[in-house]
Structures are given as structure tokens and as C-alpha cells.
Amino acid sequence: HQPLQERTEEELRQHLKRYTEHNLGHPHHREYKWVVIDTKSLERVGEVSFDKLDIGQKIGRIGYSIAPGWWGKGFGTAVVGAMVDKIFSESDCQRIEAECSIHNPASRRVLEKNGFTREGTKRGYLEIHGERVDHYSFGLLKEDWEKQR
């Protein structure tokens, strides 16, 4: 974000809130991304994104990445939870999907802590470091999310 004028942290938060509130339910906006910043050091911790995969069926996908120096500190669980809450409470999305490498138990736990259910394995799903890697597929239904609240 490169503003035409400098903004305080609170002004930036309000701008992002208005932008997200305006765009989340709009049928032509398909992707939303948050950058995760540590409020003490102002370092970039990672990011979380949401893509509308099938607007007619009200299905989306969430993805996230946390920098190695910030692993194990709860950022992944917190940002995935915040994005899920935002999507389910402010849009008509009925299902969110996610994937994680079978070699990444921490990422699997992030999804499980946020109520996602492991639904299967996608063989050779993504290429990582030159090799095709299997991924677990997860899903979370809005009705299940509502029961957990």
C-alpha cells in the first residue's frame, strides 16, 4: 500500500477495514489478502489469503504463510481464525477449503485448531523444492463454524 499521504497505524487499520467490508460480499471481488505484522517490532510475520473458488456454490479457499522466525508463536492459528471469522460472518460463503503438506504437522494443527476437518489427500498436489508433494485437503462448513462459536 502506497498512500498519497502518510497515515497513522489506526488510520491504516480503518482504511483496510472499510476496504474489506466493502469488497468482501461483492461478487466480482474474488481474492482478499492480509499481511501479518508483529505490532511490537513492526516486522512482517506472514500473510493469509482467501479466494472465492466457486461463487455459485459459495465455496472459497484459504491459504497462509508464516515466516520461519515466527513459527510456533500462534500467529498462524490466530490469522487463519480471524480470516475464517471474517469470511463466514460477513459473506455468503458456505464452505472454506485449505491444503497443507503432509510433511508440515504445524500447518495441519493450525487448520485443526480452527475447526477444519481433514477430508483426504491430494497426491502430488504442489511442487516444492523440485519435488511433487502430497497435501492433506481440509474443509470447514459455515454450519460447523457456527456451532463452534
- The Cα-based distances of 133 to 19, 47, 117, 124, 128 in angstroms read 36, 22, 20, 5, 7
45, 37 in Cβ contact below 8 A?
yes
Give the length of the chain.
149
- Please report where in the chains the cell 474489506 appears, as a residue: 20
Domain residue spans of the chain: 9-148
Q: In terms of CATH architecture, what is 9-148?
A: 3-Layer(aba) Sandwich (3.40)
Identity of the residue numbered 137: S
On whether the CB atoms of residues 138 and 120 are closer than 8 A, the answer is no
Per DSSP, the residues of the chain read ---SS---HHHHHHHHHHHHHHHTT-TT--EEEEEEE-TTT--EEEEEEEEEEETTTTEEEEEEEE-GGGTTSSHHHHHHHHHHHHHHHHS---EEEEEEETT-HHHHHHHHHTT-EEEEEEEEEEEETTEEEEEEEEEEEHHHHHHH-
Average pLDDT of the chain to the nearest whole number: 85
Q: Which amino acid, residue 135?
A: H
- Average pLDDT value for residue range 8-14: 62
Question: What cell numbers appear for 52 in the block?
Answer: 472465492
Rounded to an integer, the average pLDDT of 22-42 is 73
Rounded to two decimals, the pTM is: 0.78
pLDDT digits (tens, 9 = 90+) for 100-121: 999 999 999 999 999 999 999 9
> Is residue 3's pLDDT more than 50?
no
